[in-house]
Amino acid sequence: MSQDPPTSEDRAGFRLPDPALVTRTMADVAERSQRIVTDFLKRQGSDGPPGPDPLHIGSAFLEMTTRLMTNPARLMQAQIGFWQDYLTLWQNTARRMMGEPVKSVIEEPQSDRRFKDEAWRENEIFDFIRQSYLLSARFFTNVVHGAEGLDQKTAQKVDFYTRQFVDAMSPSNFLLTNPEVLRRTAETGGENLLKGLSNLLTDLERGKGQLRIRMTDETKFKVGENIAVTPGKVVYRNDLMELIQYTPTTEKVLKRPLLIIPPWINKFYILDLRPKNSFIRWAVEQGHTVFVISWVNPDEKLAEKGFDDYMREGPYAALDAVEQATGERAVNAIGYCLGGTLLACTLAHMAAKKDTRIKSATFFTTMIDFAEAGELGVFIDEEQLQSLEDKMQRRGYLEGSDMATTFNMLRANDLIWSFVVNNYLMGQEPFPFDLLYWNDDSTRMPARMHSFYLRRMYQQNDLVKPGEIELDGVALDLRKVKLPTYILSTREDHIAPWKSTYRATQIYGGKVRFVLAASGHIAGVVNPPESGKYSHWVNEELPPEPEAWFKGATELAGSWWGDWHRWVSSQDRTMVEARIPGSGKLKALGDAPGEYVKVQAKD
């Protein structure tokens, strides 16, 4: 008796994928894989072969292991504690399978979103997998922290890469140990995995053989059309930057123009994403004549541009242009991250030259003392710097993707592994998100400038040593910066740790206001008042230690933007007629956001 073949709804409810879809996918895989391998081999030929340990992790872990072996009792104690917890977990799981209520041996922090699916707790097996992983992760971390006698840099490197390994090994990252992925696979008959494979190939194609994970649907955004849309004009341009002047929305404006110096590690429109969260648009609405530097996305032609060039062709050129456009010499200035470091250098340079055009300075998440540079310091040792410089010399610049990968590793679970699960295992397209689009719109770094920045500031911390750094023939001394200063830091900043940025309060010679915002390096800054999110802390006193400042600080609900505007407008409340871009001595060269910002660093 003949029997019909099983249907797509047979096999215990597991739906089989469409055979035609499988055929098309496999043919596509074969064709694209060949192209990806070719691109990868070409890249290896141009970049040169990588060393066996380009990040020099092996030597750090070897030293850590040697130190551990000098105290075997401590290691044995950690192992005994781990196995005792593991035995308790086994017993609890057995009791739970017999119907008894039991408590978890270990729980992840509330901020950990990897195990948000209910099955991680409702199903005994997945609950066991979850807790087993958490116990193992804690054991690895405790063992690493127990190594005595390591120098600070080695200990930091070992701790960082241990966490990278622990995060990578999470059961949420694997098909067979993620209940959400298994459920999706059963529901779609495996089509999610076919789609995930296609997504993986697309990301490999984007990186020309190296994985470049898509974090958002890039097709939903276009600079100048639905992000970076605050009206304005480009009124000045040189090799390194375009200067944008924004169109006023008030009849009267503050007499002092506002000059914003963003970092050139990323693009300026982090401050002008959408109208609802645009700091630039908001500042215009408060009556500021806003000028913003839009840095060029450099290529090999600008390889010899140094930090002094960025100062001369950036803030100094912008100050001259602002005076031509408005007739005003006195300005308020904002520097964000690396842009703030450049602003600090410029102010010290101006103090030595007795140039007083900048009347107040605001720093967003800016480090000038790099003694405790946070986890970015993991990447700044002599071996890695030499390797990086060799790589930059071959091209004349650092690829934007290299810098982006470094920053993403600081928050690997949020910025790497969550997208691996969503894109490749769940087979879903990334969600459209303006901030992540900006995050992926990376920029290159000129070789000479970047080497100077990493060596003289991160590695040697010369900026806080009076006279150690010389720019354009002038020795810098930050203690001579004596204008009113507003320092904004964020409590969960992985890039510019707030306790490091706080040190500037003890260096500048003028009156300083320090404000700490909740959240991180971006979200804590891009926090419009209308959002009702993220509090901030204020304290009029500036004790030497950041912990003492925080202990005496008052937490206020909502955004810090209003606090800053009250501070900066109090420096000079004089109002004048609104200035229209292009109506002064500088004519409009084109519409905002200009041309430089549209150049993408696609590897």
Catalytic residue ranges = 337
∠ Cα 314 289 433 (to 5°): 75
Contacts of 255 (CB under 8 A, 6+ apart): 328, 330, 572, 574, 575, 576
235 close to 244: Cβ distance less than 8 angstroms: yes
Cα separation, 103 vs 92, in Å, equals 8
Contacts of 404 (CB under 8 A, 6+ apart): 439, 440, 442
CB atoms closer than 10 angstroms to residue 264: 27
DSSP for 250-313, please give it: SSEEESS-EEEE--SSS-GGGGSSSGGG-HHHHHHHTT--EEEEEE----GGGTT--HHHHHII
Query: Which residues are bridge partners to 246 per DSSP?
Result: 232
Cα separation, 7 vs 94, in Å, equals 38
How many CA atoms are closer than 13 Å to the CA of 177, on its beta-carbon side?
15
The pair of structure tokens assigned to 313 is: 């062709």
Contacts of 534 (CB under 8 A, 6+ apart): 517, 518, 519, 523, 524, 527, 558, 559
The pair of structure tokens assigned to 519 is: 């959240």
Query: Which residues are bridge partners to 363 per DSSP?
Result: 335, 487
Cα separation, 595 vs 321, in Å, equals 18
156 close to 410: Cβ distance less than 8 angstroms: no
The pair of structure tokens assigned to 207 is: 């990186």
